[in-house]
Amino acid sequence: MNLAGGNIVVSVFPDMPTPGALGAFTRPEKINEIRELEKTKTSRLWEVRAFISDHVPLAGSPPDTLKEAGHHFLHVNPAENPLWIYLHAGGRRAVYYGLFNDTNGKLDYIVVKVQSALPSNALLLARGPINALLDVMVRNYPMPLVIHRLDLMSPIVGDILVSECLIPEPRAVSIGPLGGIVQATPFAPYDALYREALTSHSPFYRLICGWKMYEGSGKIRGIVRKECQQRNLPAKLPPDATVTADELRQLGLSHEFSVGITCARDLFEKLRETRNAISHFLVETDEGESMVYVADGAQLRHYSASAAAMLHYSHKALEDLRLFSVQNGIHFWGGGSMILPTPQNRDQFAVRASDYGLI
């Protein structure tokens, strides 16, 4: 894809880069090198570099996101560059990290070594240990620290082979001239949920928002159906959105996961256990208690793809109902007839404390 800033990157994963999901990107000239490394499947030590920030960019293009410098206040002793430290979990379960600083003594990136035969697994396996290191740092010194991006270094050339980041939203909108927008009351809480999801970098929270939106589409479907009955409208409500295995694969979900899913309701039910796991965190199973380890790379990848799918189809379900209502003259504003605000009388339409029981 040719993206903003004149930079060219191609998506390695997923097939359909979806905002909010984890995506892997590379330069076109590195494609053959990646294919050869995947083909040979030689087990080796990979170097993964993690760039840290207090936030994850949510809007823009992947090249812009990959170039953006992280913002944080984590400094490294300038006398030791890199600073090599370990995280120990007992026995032989220890991981060494290299903390490299910049010329100002501020952390530039964290290095971790991963042994794997596939470059994709190196990125997957590196995310958990790096998150674990950030977790223990934050435990003692409360700071907003997240992984801004991961760079997998080429074992052959030594440059960046693949970069992984949260896929940003590339769309831009230009508005005006515009009179105004009519808000349909039943949809308003779900519009708010959708914006909550789009402004969060957490795949766990995004999935919860998408889940609530799809639940809400069922409630609104009932409201619209009642309106149709009261108005004797012969129109048939829009069907549940069709979902194909190919669409789910393009979003980053596996073929095994997609089996048996043909509509949004199937996807909703298939993700019930995923939703319950993060919603309740501690879940009782036949084997005992289980929990979602939110630092784990595999969990993050699964939840990011699941959240992208859930948000896509839940938003579609709500938009189909909204469009159906508009096309059939079903309006949801209260207070009787609606007057038309104009620029000339705009001061009459201020937010007034008295309307909310305040002074």
Share the mean pLDDT of the chain. Answer: 91
CA distances to 72, 112, 163, 225 from 106, rounded to whole Å, are 9, 18, 22, 59
For the chain, first and last CA: distance in Å? Answer: 55
For residue 7, what pLDDT band results from cuts at 50, 70 and 90?
low
* Segments of the chain assigned E as strands: 10-13, 22-26, 44-53, 83-88, 94-101, 107-116, 146-153, 160-166, 283-285, 288-290
Residue 358 resides in a domain? no
For 231: left if phi > 0, alpha if psi spans -120 to 50, otherwise beta; the answer is: alpha
Indicate whether 15 and 109 sit together in one domain.
yes
Positive or negative, the CA dihedral 335, 337, 340, 345 is negative
Indicate whether 290 and 205 sit together in one domain.
yes
Q: What pLDDT score was predicted for residue 30?
A: 95
Indicate whether 311 and 197 sit together in one domain.
yes
Mean pLDDT of 347-354: 93
Indicate whether 109 and 230 sit together in one domain.
no
Percent of the chain exceeding pLDDT 70 equals: 94
Indicate whether 139 and 240 sit together in one domain.
no
CA pair distance 238, 211, nearest whole angstrom:
19
Residue 354 resides in a domain? no
Positive or negative, the CA dihedral 56, 132, 18, 39 is positive
| Per-residue pLDDT reduced to its tens digit, 48-88 | 999 999 999 999 999 989 998 899 999 998 888 999 999 99
Domain end, chosen from 166, 197, 215, is at: 166
Indicate whether 96 and 62 sit together in one domain.
yes
CA pair distance 162, 149, nearest whole angstrom:
10
Mean pLDDT of 198-206: 95
Residue 357 resides in a domain? no
Indicate whether 221 and 318 sit together in one domain.
yes
For 182, the 3-state DSSP assignment is coil
Residue 192 resides in a domain? yes
Indicate whether 162 and 195 sit together in one domain.
no
Q: What pLDDT score was predicted for residue 4?
A: 35
Both structure tokens of 72: 């944080």
| Domain containing residue 21 | 4-166
Residue 348 resides in a domain? no
Residue 343 resides in a domain? no
| Residue bearing tokens 């630092």 | 295
CA pair distance 200, 271, nearest whole angstrom:
20
Q: What pLDDT score was predicted for residue 205?
A: 95
Indicate whether 10 and 158 sit together in one domain.
yes
| Per-residue pLDDT reduced to its tens digit, 272-285 | 989 988 988 766 66
Both structure tokens of 34: 């990646």
| Per-residue pLDDT reduced to its tens digit, 149-184 | 999 999 999 999 999 999 999 988 898 888 888 888
Q: What pLDDT score was predicted for residue 17?
A: 85
| Residue bearing tokens 């880069």 | 17
Asked which of 35-49, 135-149, 192-206, 338-352 is least confident by mean pLDDT, the reply is 338-352
Domain end, chosen from 166, 195, 223, is at: 166
Indicate whether 154 and 220 sit together in one domain.
no
Indicate whether 19 and 149 sit together in one domain.
yes
200 burial (CB, 10 Å; 0-12 / 13-18 / 19+) is middle
Nearest to 9 by CA among 50, 56, 61: 61
Residue 274 resides in a domain? yes
Indicate whether 249 and 293 sit together in one domain.
yes
Residue 338 resides in a domain? no
Domain count, the chain: 2
